[in-house]
Amino acid sequence: MESKTKDNTMTSISGSGSFQTGATTMNDASNYVLIDTIAVPIGLRGRPFIVKGTVGGGGAIAGLRYTEAALAEDAHYPLAQDGDFNTATALFPFATNNAYQTAANGTFVIRFASAPPEFALYAKKASANTTVQISGSILI
């Protein structure tokens, strides 16, 4: 089970199906740091969605984890981590190769098959502190 958010807030998706989080500092090489939790409105759930991650100039990331909740504001469960993103599945039919090892100033893209009520992305730094910001949209 994952904690909800770092400060008890979450990013809600707008009526257009788009979202963008603030940049989150990755300052731990051993543990995953929550980038953000995204709340999906009822009318947009079940639709394909795309997430783009932008890594800051400080350093690379060395890990990426995706969790989701079956119900809004429920416990999150990990569904993909690190090398899992390198093999297309029914959950995510496309991901940038080695998304979990994105270099400084790099980006990764993951396409998911179906938007849940809530999802979260976590990352961990490779060696130097860096930032990660995610943006994306639900395909409507």
CB distance 98 to 86 below 8 Å:
yes
Each residue of 48-65: pLDDT tens digit? 999 999 999 999 999 999
Q: What is the C-alpha separation between 65 and 83, in angstroms, rounded?
A: 10
CB distance 12 to 101 below 8 Å:
no
Q: Class of 11-138 per CATH? A: mainly beta
Each residue of 21-34: pLDDT tens digit? 999 999 999 999 99
Take residue 30 and report the two structure tokens written for it.
């051993």
Each residue of 74-130: pLDDT tens digit? 999 999 999 999 999 999 999 999 999 999 999 999 999 999 999 999 999 999 999
- Spell out the domain ranges in the chain: 11-138
Question: Is the pLDDT score of 6 beyond 70?
Answer: no
Give the CA dihedral 65, 70, 76, 82, nearest 10 degrees. Answer: -10
CB distance 53 to 108 below 8 Å:
yes
Q: Read out DSSP for 56-69?
A: -TT--EEEEEEEEE
